[in-house]
Amino acid sequence: MRSLRSRLFRLVVKYWMSPKFNAHTTIQEQRRALEGFAGLSILPAGTRVQPVKIGTLSAEWISVGDNPEQRAVLYVHGGAYNIGSLNTHRDIAARIAKASKMKTLSIDYRLAPEHDHPAAVEDVVSAYRWLLENGYSPRNIVIAGDSAGGGLAVAALVSLRDAGEQLPAAAVCMSPWTDLEGTGESITSLAHKDPFLTSDWLGVMAKNYVADDDPRSPLISPIYADLHGLPPILIQVGADEILLSDSTRLEKRGRQAGVDVTLDIWANMWHVWHLFAGQMPEAKRAINEVGKFIREHVSQSNAVDHNREARDV
């Protein structure tokens, strides 16, 4: 049963947030609006934030409580490739740190339209390699992201695999945007139910990011990527969002490629409802499930390596 708070925040999203993100509002206005919403969030008690530079890329370590030093969640924020920042998604990154009992490294990747594809993918890959260079084992890293960040997480995995690099223990995609061509069935079938996203708005955001590239490029729209060899992936998506098909098709592609994919479709939820984890029980439960998935797969990855080392002795 839906909580009373979820009913309330659905109205907030539909009548207060959604009108500020449309095809006719400038990118700068949308960025300011999202920053304004972020100012209403309250970080979990005990959150610590440490700014860091990864080359020219701004990033920050976020920890809550005691987190193992050499375990990390690389967090990639959403915002349709055009908006969003360390500030706008600090709360969700902190809550994932708390739920997973691991530090998060949140990155301020380059945004469109100033920087189109492949800038964002390159920045995520650079951040992962920076973790490896600083002593983090792949088995102790998970890549997670919401919306565009979820698509970038998968694109980064494909790019790293193709480069012959060791992949992280797992990945988490929350309401991922994986088809920038907008061909999913839910784009039209759920348009009347989605309180937040519109196809017109997504079309403008996609055009800014794709520019002169092919929207079906695997690193732009991962539903067209060869997913063989990728680590376990958790996908969480709302049943009422127009990007539902992006998640169901990603799961299908993953399973066809032999990837361990878990798809959780949340009834009555909208795009990245996780952002309300401080106020809404459904969002808190979703984040807790993300944390559980991360802990289990990092532990399993370490156990597999330990058993392999024991056999080699």
Q: Which residues are catalytic?
A: 147, 241, 271
Q: Is 254 helix (H, G, I), strand (E, B) or coil?
A: helix
Q: Which of 92, 89, 90 is nearest to 49 (CA)?
A: 90
* Alpha-carbon span 28 to 14, nearest angstrom: 21
**Alpha helices (H) in the chain, listed in sequence order:** 4-12, 27-38, 90-100, 119-133, 148-162, 186-189, 199-210, 244-256, 281-312
Contact 231, 169 (CB under 8 A): yes
- In the sheet with 103-107, reading across from the earlier edge strand, the strands are 47-54, 57-64, 103-107, 72-76, 141-146, 170-174, 233-238, 261-266
